[in-house]
Amino acid sequence: MGERIDFQVDPNSYRHWRIEYNNDIASLYMDVDENGGLFDGYELKLNSYDLGVDIELADIVQRMRFEHPEIKVVVMRSAKDKVFCAGANIRMLGRSSHALKVNFCKFTNETRNTFEAASEDSGQLYMSAVKGSCAGGGYELALATNYILLTDDGSSSVSLPEVPLLAVLPGTGGLTRVTDKRKVRRDLADVFCTLEEGVRGQRAKEWGLVDEVVSNAKFDAVVGERAREFADSLDTGKPSNGIELTPLSRTFEEGGNIRYSTVSVDIDRNKGIARIDIAGPADAAPKTTEQLERDGAESWMLRCARELNDAILNLRLNELEVGVIVFGTQGSNELVSAHEKFLIDNKDHWLANEILKFWKRVLKRVDMTSRSLVALVEPGSCFAGVLAELLFSVDRSYMAEGEFEDDDRPVASILLNEGNFGLYPMSNDLSRLQTRFLGDPDKIVSAAKRKNEPLEAGEVDELGLVTFCFDDIDWDDEIRIFFEERAKFSPDAMTGMEANLRFAGPETMETRIFGRLTAWQNWIFQRPNAVGAEGALQSYGTGVRGKFDMGRV
């Protein structure tokens, strides 16, 4: 599986999903092309999915928000008889590298979280209309929707059979959503998660696994009624037409470097470092929401978010030996902040809101990226507002102090604004500054008093907003030493350490989902009971049960 994975999709060429729009209700049909796998060597039978299926779903959910703001309810259905979704394709998992399995699970989790939050963020509610088998990742797909209807036909069921069948855990938050979201009683959850055949009919409703069970004869009518009721309860005030998410301006160069319109990615393979540089806006911020809509996908805030999102995904899946990602920026602090301020001042406008919420998701994706992250605040940089959030996402940040010899760019400074104080919460539901200063909340008060001021290194250091500040004499040596030191550490230890340190404070369902993926699923995916020659994942479908080492660890 050495081919480059591309996360950009042409909606006219979806192979696995189709959508019907009916005023403010959309029906989203899962209709997986068996022969449409992302890689060779497996068939996507029974609406099972691989990363390619989920890349299309993520694109659909994103476009639903921007291109179809009129939609209030999305009903997820199967276009196939007797199966809703069989979950992640087992043959695909069995032949995937460990890194691909874990990154696949991470991406599917991020996609589920996106449409799970759509009702709160965008006024779009997702329902699942389950007919047939709804197993494993298929049930996780349903779990992430706001409401689940199950037909009572004697055979349709929901199940999480990963433990008894595959010796792994549900990879897309299934266990956590069963207990934390649906609040299924622990002992019943234990029974459910060890039943290969799952649970059907009224028992599924009694146990809290679904919201409603409907006779087969009335099922389609009731699904329509519920969708209409939910749509009528949502007063979003959105227009009937959105904006088109036009294709990204993107050029791939030799060596894996990428050039976008606002973002560039340069890879040093010898050092295992990728540098992401973000160019601030060249033009003034929009003056009216009408202008924002006319600019559409070309508006700087949306264009930059889409390009950064694609760059991060490309590095995650296609550049596995890049251990360090460096963030740099160049431009005007004031212009960056002005573009963001326009959106904040107009956040009641549907498009301004969607762009801000998209930045929230992109920044979360940065938080969740299992690479060492570092930001360099250099002369001429523009870590302002939303871009300053990157300083608080990374594991370390370095700031240039004062003027640098033979460098005529402006002295390095950062600029905080309203967006840095709660607009882009992390998965722990705290702002990045709240997470940073968990033990010293007075620092947040001090920082808030300096909003909209350009802050140079001495002031930034005093406020605790970066890790270290160095002048022209020490800068190059200190940065070189950091990179050399990081390259000596075990990447496994780094992944574990960084995931532990990034999410201080309260746990949420989201942090538990990703924390358990990083720790438990990551570990189980390497154990011979699952992936060994005689493990359950390898033996699945052969008629032979996996052989287990019965010693507990």
pLDDT at 1: 40
At residue 522, the 3 state secondary structure works out as: helix
pLDDT at position 273: 96
Which CATH number applies to 252-495? 3.90.226.10
Structure-token pair, residue 346: 């107009």
Give the helix/strand (H/E) hosting 500. Answer: helix 491-501
Give the DSSP H or E segment for 392: helix 389-393
Look at residue 188 in the predicted model and tell me its pLDDT.
98
At which residue do the structure tokens 């979806």 appear? 14
Burial pattern 472-496, b for ≥16 Cβ within 10 A else e, equals eeebeeebeebbeebeeeebeebbb
252-495 has the same fold as 13-233: yes
DSSP 8-state assignment for residue 547: P
Asked whether the beta carbons of 110 and 103 are under 8 A apart, the reply is no
Please report the pLDDT score of residue 2 as a whole number: 55
Residues of the chain with pLDDT under 50: 1
Beta strands in 309-394 (DSSP E): 324-330, 372-377, 383-384
| Distance separating alpha carbons of residues 124 and 70, to the nearest angstrom | 9
Which of 482, 492, 514 shows the shortest CA–CA distance to 326?
482
DSSP β-bridge partners for residue 22: 25
Distance of alpha carbon 167 from alpha carbon 57, whole angstroms: 27
Burial letters for 145-173: b for 16+ Cβ neighbours within 10 Å, e otherwise? bbbbbbbbbeebbbbbbbbebbbbbbbbb
The SS3 call for residue 78 is strand
Rg of the chain in Å (alpha carbons): 24
CATH no., domain 13-233: 3.90.226.10
Single-letter amino acid code for the residue at 270 = N
Q: What is the structure's pLDDT at 336?
A: 98
pLDDT computed for residue 254 by the predictor? 87
Rounded CA gap, 211 and 63, in Å? 27
pLDDT in tens, 77-86: 999 999 999 9
Question: Per residue in 142-151, pLDDT tens?
Answer: 999 999 999 9
Give domain limits for the chain: 13-233, 252-495, 498-539
The pTM of the full predicted model, rounded to 2 decimals, is 0.96
200, 156 Cβ separation under 8 angstroms: yes
Phi, psi dihedrals of residue 175, rounded to the nearest 5°: -60, -45
CA 14, 20, 23, 25 torsion: positive or negative? negative
